[in-house]
C-alpha cells in the first residue's frame, strides 16, 4: 500500500517562501513519478509541477520561475520549493505518485496519478 504524507504548509505573507515535503512509504520510491497539484474550494484540482523517474520536470505556467520541484530517492521524499508566493497561490497542495517506466516523461494530468496524499494548506496573504 502506497502512502504519501505532505508537510510544510502554513500561512505566510506575499513574497515569502515555503518548502513543501512529501514523504512516501510502502513502495520503491524511485519507481514512481511524482507531482504536486493544488485545489481551492469550488475549483478543480490544478497541476503545479511534476518530476519523472529520470528527473525530467514540468511546471505550470503560473508557477514557472518561482517554484522548484526536486526529489531525494534515498529519503523517499519529493519537495516543492515555493518562492515569491502570491495570494493566488493559496490552496490545499497535494502530492501525487504514479508507477511508470523510466522513459515516460512528467505529466500534468491528475487522472494519470494513482496515489494521493491528504493535502497541506498554504495560505498567502497580501
Which is higher by pLDDT, 99 or 26? Answer: 99
pLDDT at residue 37, as a whole number: 98
Q: CA torsion sign, 15 to 125 to 96 to 108? A: negative
Q: How confident is the model at residue 26 (pLDDT cuts 50, 70, 90)?
A: confident
Stretch 91-119: mean pLDDT: 94
Amino acid at each position: 500500500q502506497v502512502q504519501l504524507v505532505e508537510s510544510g504548509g502554513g500561512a505566510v505573507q506575499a513574497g515569502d517562501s515555503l518548502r513543501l515535503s512529501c514523504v512516501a512509504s510502502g513502495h520503491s520510491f524511485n519507481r514512481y513519478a511524482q507531482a504536486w497539484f493544488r485545489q481551492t474550494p469550488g475549483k478543480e484540482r490544478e497541476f503545479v509541477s511534476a518530476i519523472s523517474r529520470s528527473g525530467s520536470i514540468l511546471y505550470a505556467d503560473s508557477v514557472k520561475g518561482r517554484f522548484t520541484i526536486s526529489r531525494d530517492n534515498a529519503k523517499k521524499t519529493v519537495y516543492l520549493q515555493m518562492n515569491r508566493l502570491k495570494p493566488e497561490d493559496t490552496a490545499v497542495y497535494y502530492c501525487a505518485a504514479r508507477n511508470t517506466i523510466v522513459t515516460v516523461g512528467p505529466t500534468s494530468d491528475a487522472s494519470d496519478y494513482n496515489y494521493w496524499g491528504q493535502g497541506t494548506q498554504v495560505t498567502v496573504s497580501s
